[in-house]
Structure 1
C-alpha cells in the first residue's frame, strides 16, 4: 500500500481538505497491517462502532500507531495539531475505545488488563471528558434514555463491569479490569498509565499539569501519551515547547534526506528521538485569510461533513484576525507583548554558582497569585562580591502551608527573621498580621513602595548588578510580565501579564526590602545555609 492510503478515500479535488499534515514525522518503514495498528483501529470503528472516519483521521491513526519489530509502539509521545471542529474528539474517542476493549488484552505478558489504565486529562475536568463521554455513550451497559440506547454499541456493553459517575472519580471499568478514567491535569499523581490523552494542550499556561501527566506513562511497556490541540498563543508554553521539538525533529529528518543519508536508520539507531511523533495540519504562515489551499490544509475535514470552504470563510468577518488564524488556520499568533524586563538582559544575570554567604543577611518575600492557587517564597541577599542575589526557594499550591514552612526554615536558620509582603490589594495581605504575630519582622510593601520594587528591580537588571540562579519558573514569568502606570511610576501588572507572576514579584519585594531596610539579623558564627541550602522547591 502506498503512503497516500488512497484506499481510505483521500480526495485531491479542491472541495476537500488535505489528508496529509503539512508537517509530520515520517515512518521508519512501510506501513501496512503488520507494521501499524492503525488499520485495526479503522476496522474496529467501521465494524464495531459503526463510525466512518475521515481520510485524515485514518491517516493519523496509521502513522501514529506505527509498530516496532517487537510489537511495541514506535511513538511514546504524540503531538497532533489541527484546527477546531475537525473531529479531534471523534478520533480520540475511537482510539480510546480500541485501547480499552482491544489493545488492553493484546500483550497480557507485558501489560495485563488489570494494569492497563487509560487516562484522559485536560486543563479542566470538563475538557478531559470529551473523548471519555463518547466512549461511555458507546459502551454504557445501562443507558438512561432511549436516545442513549440507540447510540450504545451492543458488542461493547457486555464487556463493561460498571461505570462510575462519582464526581472526581469518573471512570469505565471493564470486566477484564482495564480502566478508563478522566481527571483534571493537576489532579493526576503517581498512577502508572498504559495510555493517556491530553486534550486542549494549548490551555496549559504553566508546566505543572503537563509535568504530572507526562510522567505516568514512562514506566509502562509500549505506552503512549497523546497531546492534541489546535494552535496556541503566547500563553501556551507547554504546547509551544512540544511543537518546537516536533518541528525540529522533522527538520532534522528532512536534512538527513537532503544529504542522502538514510534518515530512518539514523533515527532508529537512537541518534535522534524516534519515539516522538509530530503531526501538524496548519496553513502556511502569512497566508491570506481566504486562501482556499490554506483552509484545506488546516481543515482536513472540509467536504466530508457539514464543513465547507464557504462556511469557513463566512467566519472571517465575525472574528478577529488573531482568533481566525489560531482557531481556523491553526497558526501560532504571538501577541505583541513587550515584557517589562528584557528576557535577554535577565538571562545575562544568570549565575549557576551564585549564592549568599553563610554569614550574609537574607530577606524573604511571600506573594500569592490573584486566584489564590499558588504561593511563592523568594529570598534576597548580598553575595561575597557585594552584588545582590535573588532566588525562588518555594512554590506550592494554596496558602495555608506558608506559616509552617517559614517556621521550619527559621528553626534551621535562626538568623532569617525578615519577610516582605505586599500589604494591600492582593491575597498575600493575609500573611501580614499572621507573620508579625509569629515574631517575624514584616516589611510592608504598599503605596510608593510598589513602584520602587518594580523600578529598582529593573534598574539592577539593566545595570548588570543583580545575580540569580537559572530557574525556569521565574524565567517564564519574566518573559510575560508587564507593568502598568500608577501615578508617576510603573508597578507590576498582575491582570494583564500573560501568566501569573507572583514568583517574580516576590523576588522584587525581597530585593527592595534588602536594600532599603535596616538589618534585624543577629550576629552568627555558623549558618544552616551551609548544611541545608537555600533551594527548597
Structure 2
C-alpha cells in the first residue's frame, strides 16, 4: 500500500469509449445551464455531456443511444440531472422526459435531488406548475407550458401508453429484456429522441444485465455511429481477471474519475480491506461479470456444440432428467439414448409450470422402464414427493452428484464423446448457459434465460451411468 500516494486524481477520460463524429455539440449549453442551478460538473462529467450531445447538421442528436458505465459514487447522477434540466428548460421539442430506475425508491431519490436544484433557483422555479410525488407509483415535475419530467420504476408496463422524447434508464445493471422491450418502442415516433443507459458494472449472477451487456459490446466494437459509449474501468478480460494488482491505487485512479474530487484513496482503501475481492473489483474497479450473449461463444467454446449435432435417429431411451427453471416458469424433460457409439442427448418436452410433470414422467417410465432423475437440491426437488406418490421410481442426485454430472457432460462435449439432435429447446438452453461457482466447483448457471433443458439432459446422462440395470449404455460409460 506504500504506493498509495502516487495516484491522487482520477482519470478524467474513460478507458473504453466510442464518440460518434458530429457537426456540433450542445454540451456546453447543457453544462452552462447546470452551473446556473449551482450544479458544477467535473471535467469527466463535462466530457461525457459534450460527447453525448453531439448534433448532426440537421440539429438532431448524432447518438440515439448513450451508454455510461462507471463505478458507484463517482457522480453519474449529476450528469443525469444536468441533462434533465437541459431537456426540461431549454429543449422546446422535448415535451416528455421519462426517467426510470429498477426500484421506485431509487427513482424517487433522483426526483428529490432535481427538485431541490429547481426550488433553489429564483429564475427557473417560477416556471414549474407542480411537483408531484407518491409513495409507490411515480413522481414528476410539470411546467406551466405542459412539459413534464416523470420518474418511474421499471416494469413490463412502464412506458407503455407514453411517448417520451428522452428516456433515461438509470441503474441499467438491472434492466431485463422485458423492460426494454416495453420502454424502447415508446420513443419511436418522436422527432429527436435519445435513450441513456447509466449504470455501475453489471453482474449477471446478481441482476439481469443482458441489455447493458449488448450496449457495452456495441460500444466497444465502435461500429455503431448512433451510439455514444463511455466506460471507466480497469483493464480486464472476459473472465473478469484484471491486468494488475487490485490493491494498486494507480488502478483505482483509472476506474474512478472522481478520485481526489469526492472519493478519497483512504476510503477506497477501507473498501479494499472490508469487501470481497469480487465485490471490490466490481464496485470500485468497474469489473463487470457480463453474460455471454446469444450469438456469441457458448460455455463449450466457439463452434463446439454445433459440431456435436447429428441427424441420425436416436436409439432406445435409457434415462430421463427433470429440471425446473429457477423462476419456476418452465420445466424440461430431457433424455439420453444409446446410439451404439456415443450417448445421444435429447429434448423430450419443455412446458410451462410444473402441474403436468408428474403425469408425463409416470407415462414415460411405464412405457420405457427407465429411471427418472431429479436434482435433490434444485428447483425440481418439490416434485419428488408427488412423483413417488404416483409410483414413479425416482433417482435423486446429491449436490456432489450434480456437480460431477455437469463436469462430466462438459468433458464429454469437449472430447466429442456425446452427441445431440440439434433440438431447439436444448440449443437455446446451451446458448444462455454459463458457469456458476459452488464452493470450489462449478455448475450450470444462466445469463437471463432458461437452462432447464441443459440441466435435464445432464441429469439424464448421469442417471443412466449410475444404473447398471439399464444396460444399453453400459458399454459406453
Distance change in 2, residues 1:394/1:326 (3 Å): same
* In structure 1, distance between residues paired with 2:44 and 2:412: 53
Q: CA deviation at 1:422?
A: 3.0
Q: Confirm whether residue 480 of structure 1 aligns to residue 435 of structure 2.
A: yes
- Answer yes or no: is the 8 Å Cα contact 2:345–2:457 preserved in 1: no
Q: CA deviation at 1:157?
A: 6.4
Structure 2 residue matching 1:131: 3-state secondary structure: helix
- Answer yes or no: is the 8 Å Cα contact 1:38–1:58 preserved in 2: yes
Q: CA deviation at 1:18?
A: 3.8
- Answer yes or no: is the 8 Å Cα contact 1:121–1:196 preserved in 2: no
Q: Confirm whether residue 276 of structure 1 aligns to residue 227 of structure 2.
A: yes
- Answer yes or no: is the 8 Å Cα contact 2:160–2:183 preserved in 1: no
Structure 2 residue matching 1:21: 3-state secondary structure: coil
* In structure 2, distance between residues paired with 1:507 and 1:219: 46
* In structure 2, distance between residues paired with 1:194 and 1:357: 55
Equivalent position to 1:509, from 435, 459, 472:
459
* In structure 2, distance between residues paired with 1:38 and 1:391: 54
Compare the two structures and name the one with the higher strand fraction: 2
* In structure 1, distance between residues paired with 2:154 and 2:121: 26
Q: Confirm whether residue 227 of structure 1 aligns to residue 177 of structure 2.
A: no
- Answer yes or no: is the 8 Å Cα contact 1:357–1:383 preserved in 2: no
Equivalent position to 2:56, from 43, 51, 68:
68
Equivalent position to 1:349, from 285, 305, 308:
305
CA-to-partner distance for each residue in 1:280-336, whole Å, 9 max, x for gaps?
Answer: 2334563555766644443323444x43455545655455555444433434589xx
Unaligned residue ranges in structure 2 (runs of 5+): 1-6, 236-241, 291-297, 471-477
Distance change in 2, residues 1:359/1:158 (3 Å): farther
Q: CA deviation at 1:62?
A: 1.3
Give 1:134's aligned residue.
113
Structure 2 residue matching 1:42: 3-state secondary structure: helix
* In structure 1, distance between residues paired with 2:249 and 2:404: 53
TM-score, normalization: structure 2? 0.69
* In structure 1, distance between residues paired with 2:419 and 2:316: 16
Q: CA deviation at 1:275?
A: 0.8
- Answer yes or no: is the 8 Å Cα contact 1:117–1:195 preserved in 2: yes
Give 2:31's aligned residue.
42
Give 2:152's aligned residue.
182
Q: Confirm whether residue 194 of structure 1 aligns to residue 165 of structure 2.
A: yes
* In structure 1, distance between residues paired with 2:165 and 2:456: 40
- Answer yes or no: is the 8 Å Cα contact 1:83–1:329 preserved in 2: yes
- Answer yes or no: is the 8 Å Cα contact 1:484–1:493 preserved in 2: no
Q: CA deviation at 1:126?
A: 3.9
Equivalent position to 2:93, from 106, 131, 134:
106
TM-score, normalization: structure 1? 0.62
Q: CA deviation at 1:118?
A: 1.0
Q: CA deviation at 1:63?
A: 0.9
Q: Confirm whether residue 244 of structure 1 aligns to residue 217 of structure 2.
A: yes
Give 2:324's aligned residue.
367
Distance change in 2, residues 1:290/1:354 (3 Å): closer
Distance change in 2, residues 1:45/1:375 (3 Å): same
Q: Confirm whether residue 171 of structure 1 aligns to residue 139 of structure 2.
A: yes
Give 2:355's aligned residue.
403
Equivalent position to 2:258, from 280, 296, 301:
301
Q: CA deviation at 1:100?
A: 4.2
Q: CA deviation at 1:87?
A: 0.8
Unaligned residue ranges in structure 1 (runs of 5+): 1-13, 108-112, 140-149, 250-271, 335-341, 520-537
Aligned length: 433
- Answer yes or no: is the 8 Å Cα contact 1:185–1:209 preserved in 2: yes
Distance change in 2, residues 1:353/1:173 (3 Å): farther
Distance change in 2, residues 1:326/1:295 (3 Å): same
Distance change in 2, residues 1:302/1:493 (3 Å): closer
Q: CA deviation at 1:58?
A: 1.7
Give 2:128's aligned residue.
159
* In structure 2, distance between residues paired with 1:125 and 1:383: 53
Distance change in 2, residues 1:300/1:416 (3 Å): farther
* In structure 1, distance between residues paired with 2:57 and 2:314: 57
Aligned residue runs from structure 1 range 455-466, under 5 A: 457-458=409-410, 460-461=412-413, 462-466=415-419
TM-align CA RMSD: 5.0
CA-to-partner distance for each residue in 1:476-513, whole Å, 9 max, x for gaps?
Answer: 42x3145669xxxx99588xx99898523234235567
* In structure 2, distance between residues paired with 1:291 and 1:76: 37
Q: CA deviation at 1:19?
A: 3.1
Q: CA deviation at 1:153?
A: 7.1
- Answer yes or no: is the 8 Å Cα contact 1:283–1:331 preserved in 2: yes
